Each structure stands twice: as structure tokens, then as C-alpha cells.
Structure 1
Amino acid sequence: MSWNVTTGLDDEQLSGLVARVHQVLRDDPGALLPERMWALGLYRSVVLVLYLLRQNPVQEAAAELFGVSQSTVSRRWTTLRPVVERALAEHVPDPASASAGRVVLVDGTLAPTWDWASEGTTMFSGKHRDTGFNLQIAATLAGDLLAVSAPVPGSRHDTYAWRQSSFPDAFADRDSMGDLGYVGTGMLTARRKPPGRDRPEADKVFNQSISKLRAAVVWAIAHLKNRKIPAARYRGPLTAFPHIVKTITALTFYKKGW
């Protein structure tokens, strides 16, 4: 049976990932589980974790599809998701090295969540009119992903999220582009409309050129959100979300062949 649509990986990539997960479990005795935990089998257990990341279903629906209990789904997710992240860690490139000689495009996106507070800070984004985490995405002019930042509460402005990330240091010597939310960061941005005056024709042409180039980072965000957890509404504990972002990022690079 092919699991291409379910996991977002082709057969060779999926088999390779299962082999890597097996290696991690074998090398770390503390990560091994009792045999009864593997009634589903390692291969299908990895498929289950990838399915949860890609489709973001409720666990009861996943349990019905895989013919197991909801508690089994929960255990597989809790145990194997970190192992998948570890197995793919080597595929996540160093942003500074990956961006060498390239123009860097930066944009923020909202990963929706329930309306929960995070350390007293609201998750509500006035820009998006929704609750969630602000993720900073860096990409090349070809639309290839370079890096994904750690999430910050959605109420935070893009400039704040960018400054809290590793991006300023990683891309310090790169030509970078952002939208008007990054004015004052040193990036090349569109030009604001002068107060009380029409926008000069030259500024319109310039802004159109910037928008066309920055479309590539929108493509990168769309590809990242092919895995539905950062696209649909995340239902799990907020404290776990940074680790889930790392797993999704690693899977994106793995699929691209980094």
C-alpha cells in the first residue's frame, strides 16, 4: 500500500525515514518501548505520526483509520514525534551557510491555535484577526525554504518576532527583503505612501517589483503549510508547538532533498 498522500513523502523517502527512526530507537535504549506498544508496527506507527502532522485530524479519526484505540494514537504521537525530529535533524541546514550568495526573503505567517494565553501574553493577532503563533519564514528568490523561526505569540509584530529569532545574526551579511512590517530592520522593503500625498509613480513601479520578488516566500510558506498543523487550528498544548514546528521544518527539508 502506498502512503504518499497520507504522509506527503514518496515510498523511498518514507522507507528511509522509518529506517532512520529505527536506528535512533536502537541507538538509544531509553527510547525503546515494550513490545506490546508496537502492535501497530514501527512502519505504520511512523505513518500515523506523519498523518497527524500532515492532516491535523482529531485523534479519534486517526484511531478509526488505523484500526487502533485513541489512547494508542496518543502514545505513538507522544513517543515517536520527537524521534522523527531527531532522525531528520541532519537535514535541517544552517541558515547562514544555506543562504550564502543568495538574496533572503523574509515574511511572517500566523499558525492558528485555540484562544489560549501564553505566559500572560495574548495570542490574538490584530493583523490576521485570529489567535495563533507568529512564525518567521526565510526563503530564496526561487522559493526554497531557508529557515523557520521559533514561534512567538500572534500578538507580536513581525519586527519583534524577527528580532527574537536567529535571523538577524544568520542573515546579517545578506541582501534581504521584507514587507512594510519590517521597516527599520535594514531590509529592503516597499516604500510607504507619503502622508497627505499621492504615491509617486516611481514608488508604484518599485513596490510592484518588490512584490513580484517577494512572491517566492509566499510559495515557501504555502509548501510548509502543506502539513496542516501550522495551517489549520492547532489543538494541542502550546508548550509543545515549538517542537512540532521543528519536526515539520525538518520534514520539509527532507522532502526537498537537503
Structure 2
Amino acid sequence: MAGVITASVPSWIEPFTGLTPRCFAKLVAEIRREQAADQQRGRPWSLPLEDRVLLVTAYWRTNLTMRQLAALFGISKSAADRIIDHLGPMLALRQRRRFRKDTVLIVDGTLVPTRDRTLAAQSKNYRYSTAHQVVIDADTRLVVVVGRPLPGNRHDSRGWEESGAKAAVGTTMTIADGGYQGTGLVIPHRREKGSDLPAWKEEHNRSHKRVRARVEHTFARMKGWKILRDCRLKGDGVHLAMLGIARLHNLILDGQATNS
């Protein structure tokens, strides 16, 4: 059965990945180098590497079922499942471990509705969700750290440490919202009961809000990949999807910076 979509037709790439053909080719080249460094014998794949990368990113982008995805690529449901299990971890973001002294980061938590009840919990949106701590570079807006998923009812001030995001960031200056009180991060000034903030603190808060909004914009772009609106993956699947989408988001930003 001939596949309906393939990476050999460039017009399919952007709708199913969010990447331009140029960025997609860069991603495939990176994965090919990583595979060459860890070459293993075994049964050959039913699809070339370009189509396998397209399949995984299309899954994250569209959140189609395995049966629908397999039909689109002309393979079996089990083959599509194996490709996602094998290639998904290779597409994950390589999280930054060192930062320049003048780097400023921004952190915030976001909820991903998740059907794996062993990991999810009922959150403030009344859905079973996982909570994810995402850290971006305030200057480049690139995602640098994604914490481990936690139950969706976990407060950001706890999730910051428990997800591993705090350890990954270290002592680098990090901006956060008021929900991170007591964590040592840079948060807005709080108004004492019965008194108003002085003008200089109000101005600091306005500036803080404008900068911190960049992480909200990042969440909005990342959730263009529909798997983050209703994730059916279990175990490490939701974490790998977050890491993979963070990498795709960074590729898009790099491509935009190169073209500007």
C-alpha cells in the first residue's frame, strides 16, 4: 500500500511538523549522525529515516491515533508504534547544563492533560493532567530545561525542585511569577495588606511581567502540537513528547533568526 504522505514531497513537511523543509532537513541530518554513532544491526525499517522522523513529528503535531497514522504512511499499526518508541527519544531536547554568567532564565509551569492515571492527577482545570516546569532563555527565548512531569495538582513552588528543574538551572538568575514564593527566584513585589506598593516597585512589576510573558508565548507555540492538549502516551511518553516538541520549537526559532 502506498503511503499518503512522505518527506520526499516537501509540501507535506510544514503542515505535519511545523518545520520548514530546511529546518526539517537539519533535524534529519542531526538524527542520522546520532544513529551512525550508535549503529546496531537488526531488521531494516519499513520507512526511510526522513519518513520516520516525519511520522513521529506528525504524531505529536496532529495527535492522530496509531491506526490513522499507520494508514497515512502505508505501514502497519505496530510498525508505527515501534517507530515512535525508537525514534521519539532521539528527537528529545538535549537540555543545557551550563549557562553564561550574564544569562537570565524564565521558568513557569504548564499543564498537559494526560490519560495515564498513574502519573496524572486532577488539576485546577478539573482534568487529569501532568505539570511540567519549562525554563527558557530570556534573551533567545529557546527552551533550555524541561523538568520531569509531576501530578497536575502539584504547586509550582514544589514542582520547581521536585521536577529537577532547580538542579539543572543551578545558581543562574531565573525569573518566575508569584507562585514561586520562597524558592529564591526573582518574583514580583508583593503588596502588604492595607498598603500600596511604592511607584518604583510598581514599575519593577510591570517590567517583570513584560519579560516573563515570553515563557507564556513559548507555551502557546508549543501547544500548537496537539499531543500536548490530550496526551495518550504512558510512562515516559509525555516527558519525551515535551522534550521533542521543545527541540522542534527551538529549531523553528533558530530558523527564524537565521532568515531575519
Whether TM exceeds 0.5 here: the answer is yes
Partner of 1:102 in structure 2? 103
Task: Measure the CA separation in 2 of the matches of 1:45 and 1:171.
Answer: 33
CA contact (8 A) 1:6 1:50 kept: yes
Corresponding residue pairs, total: 243
1:81-230 to 2 correspondences below 5 Å: 81-85=88-92, 89=94, 92-94=95-97, 96-97=98-99, 100-114=101-115, 116-118=117-119, 123-126=121-124, 128-142=125-139, 143-195=141-193, 197=194, 199-200=196-197, 202=199, 204-230=202-228
Distance 1:65 1:158, change over 3 A: same
Deviation at 1:54, TM superposition (A): 2.0
Q: After alignment, is 65-74 or 47-56 more displaced? A: 65-74
CA contact (8 A) 1:132 1:153 kept: yes
Give the 4+ runs in structure 1 shifted more than 6 A: none
Gaps of 5+ in 2: 1-8, 256-260
Q: After alignment, is 170-179 or 155-164 more displaced? A: 170-179
1:42 to 49, 71, 78: 49
CA offsets per residue over residues 160-204 of structure 1, 9 Å max, x none?
110124443444433322111101111222234444x36446465
1:64 matched to 2:71? The reply is: yes
Distance 1:24 1:186, change over 3 A: closer
Structure 1-normalised TM-score? 0.80
CA offsets per residue over residues 113-167 of structure 1, 9 Å max, x none?
126133xxx61223x3322111112223343323221211112110111012444
Q: After alignment, is 178-187 or 134-143 more displaced? A: 134-143
Structure 2-normalised TM-score? 0.79
Task: Measure the CA separation in 2 of the matches of 1:189 and 1:106.
Answer: 11
Task: Measure the CA separation in 2 of the matches of 1:69 and 1:149.
Answer: 33
Gaps of 5+ in 1: none
Task: Measure the CA separation in 1 of the matches of 2:202 and 2:58.
Answer: 44
RMSD (CA atoms):
2.7
Deviation at 1:29, TM superposition (A): 4.0
Using the aligned pairs only, state the percent identity: 27
Q: Which amino acid aligns with 1:15?
A: A
Task: Measure the CA separation in 2 of the matches of 1:67 and 1:51.
Answer: 14
